[in-house]
A and B are shown apart, each in its own frame.
Chain A
Amino acid sequence: MTTRRDFLKRALTGTAIVGAGGTAPLLTQARETHKVPDGALGLLYDATLCVGCKACVAACKEANDNPPEFNTVDHLWDTPLDTSGYTFNIIKMYRNGTMETKDAETNGYAFMKVSCLHCADPSCVSACPVSAMTKDPDTGIVAYDPGKCIGCRYCVAACPFGIPKYQFDDPFGRIAKCELCRHRHADGHYSACAEVCPTGATLFGHTSDLLAEAKRRLELKPGSITTYPRGRLRHAQEKRLAGAPEGKGRMERKGWREEPDQSYEGVVGNYQQRVYGEKEYGGTQVLKLSGVPFEKVGMPALPPYSSAATSETIQHTLYGGLLMPIAVLGALSWVAKRNIANVGPDDDEGGDES
């Protein structure tokens, strides 16, 4: 007979099981937000140096074999309005009032580069169920493998910067995003956007060096004169090998292509005293400087910890080593086995007529 007491007893057993499981989270370590790797490569974008020529947008298209996107009547020029399935990099413009002064918040205008920031702890990598989105342990480049991608677009949803995009118009559509031109690294080329930037507004290099350079600029007096490098910022120890071509086995690279020194003297801008990407989501490998507050130029305010860390802490607390699921399964099997004896399985022979 199933009595109320019997029911309560079972219920309590169940509660005890859940209770025992409930204490497990306390024993599990929370997953910390990952840090930028030592050999991290990235970009420094200095909005005060950008003249909005969009040479980087064109070079990016060429380097990544992307078609032009038309948004004007004449269909003559590549005019993407945002990053998309066919545009990995774009320069956006901020305008206010009379637009008289560059890099002024009121009555001014400013530029902002939009492309993948190569997060220290990327949401897209954590989200991807099939490891199509991966972060290189050495260079930290967040790379995409269309051969694995199932097109679920979880990465598109997850990215706080709205970077991964999907080619919705193509039955074989891929995810599209900047990979820092890693396919060109083997030949000694670096990110095309930085290679062509005429003012050094986009600079390629090691994130640690780029951060030091950004901080150097923040300490300068606005209006004073300083030297700005162009293209690639030389690494403090110019010896690191970086980047590996797609596929297995890392191909050792001799180094970046030799270039003449392209640095020049320029006027120091009126910076916001903050390096965007130094702390956001645990840091990003692409860093930004701006004269206009970052929130105004479309860079979201983000906490210093990543949501990937929160998500993975929850997942691994519940499912780490499959301990909890197996324990719960064991308990459920035991209870179910006992109760089947009373109830009968889903079996019509267990009824009144047998």
Chain B
Amino acid sequence: MSALRFVAGRLAGLVATLLIVSFLVYGALFLAPGSPIAYLTRGRTTSPQDVAAIQAQYHLDKPFLVQYWLWLKGALHGDLGRSIIYRQDVTGLLGERAVNTCFLVVAAAAVILVVGLPLGVLAGLRPGWLDRGILLGATGAMAVPAFVAAVVLVSVFAVQLRWFPVFGQGQGLGPRIHHLILPAAALALSFGAYVARLTRAAVRAELASEHVQTAESRGIPRAALVRRHVLRNASIPIVTVSGLTVGGLIAGAVVVEQAFQLNGLGSYLIAAVGQKDFPVVQAITLLFVTAFVVINTLVDLSYVRLDPRLRQGANR
């Protein structure tokens, strides 16, 4: 029963966070200098019809809370407003770009899972030169921002060695993956290093714990010991951090897409900020934050599976 309460609590937290965040994203419009309508149309010649259309889109003639509610209702129904530059529905403009961003984030997450996580486990299980080397490498890699990694990778692997294309995203599955390797590596580097360091610390802490030493003294084979006693328990802090890492990946995707000129939500966000296309900025920000909050709630819910104490009703 306690598991049920835990799930209900997390879902309520999700809704509360999304409400606060969406309120911030909508209310931001009113923080801008000048009136909202002057801000939305700034620097452009607009016909009275355009002004009326924007006014209707944001319901600017209604009280603030009603405006927010109508905007939120629209967003929940997939209506994210109209782009002021392209005069199209924002939802339509985002669709294909969202897919490209998803590809990038998933590819980077895969690199972290396949490289960062095992390196962390290895370093945690094997003290000595291997551990020191991995720790040193990870500490160094954490200091490399994604955009610096991007230019170094392009310089070495795209320009000097010509193994990969410099920019763009390619057509068809094969070329697409080929185009995605450098961006994914650039995005995964510092976060993967972070996950590796944390995994190492979690494994080390479990190895030193009394229950593992007891299990070892009972003569349980090393492999089973590692699998059932160390990794199982270490997985909880690792999963927590992985959820937060995804948030970093989403923010990092903005910079990496820009560096590799990928046509995703991130590079579009930067363009929209530059073009002063505020409905698009709002929509992408809301989408990113929502994705992050939802993923972290899913991570929280996975504790029910990982931590039996939650299922059996013990207090955490």
Decide if A and B are genuine partners. Answer: no
Give the A-binding residues of B (Cβ under 8 A). Answer: none
Give the B-binding residues of A (Cβ under 8 A). Answer: none
